[in-house]
Amino acid sequence: MKYVIIGNSAAAVGAVEAIRKNDTGGRIVIISNENHHTYSRPLISYLLMGKTDEEKMKYRDNDFYIENR
């Protein structure tokens, strides 16, 4: 089966994980205008204040997208 997810939000990550749990062989494509790894949007203010960095804002490891194609 092929899956297309629009957006790169926390909901998209949850959808990918749910699909993978039920279909280990399906192809997953995420379409987004974001150029960055999925991140915690509520932490943007902390990033701007210097209280966190981009690595700590990521929801999942860097290889999340590769492992869940």
Domain hosting 28: range is: 2-67
Q: 6: domain CATH number?
A: 3.50.50.60
For residue 38, the model assigns a pLDDT of: 86
Domain count, the chain: 1
Q: Quick one: three-class SS letters along 7-67?
A: CCCHHHHHHHHHHHHHCCCCEEEEECCCCCCCECHHHHHHHHCCCCCHHHHECCCCCHHHH
pLDDT at 24: 94
Residue 7: the pLDDT is: 93
Q: What is the pLDDT of residues 2-42, one digit of tens each?
A: 999 999 889 999 999 999 999 999 999 999 998 888 888 89
41-54 tens-digit pLDDT = 899 999 999 999 99
* Mean pLDDT within 52-60: 91
pTM of the model: 0.79
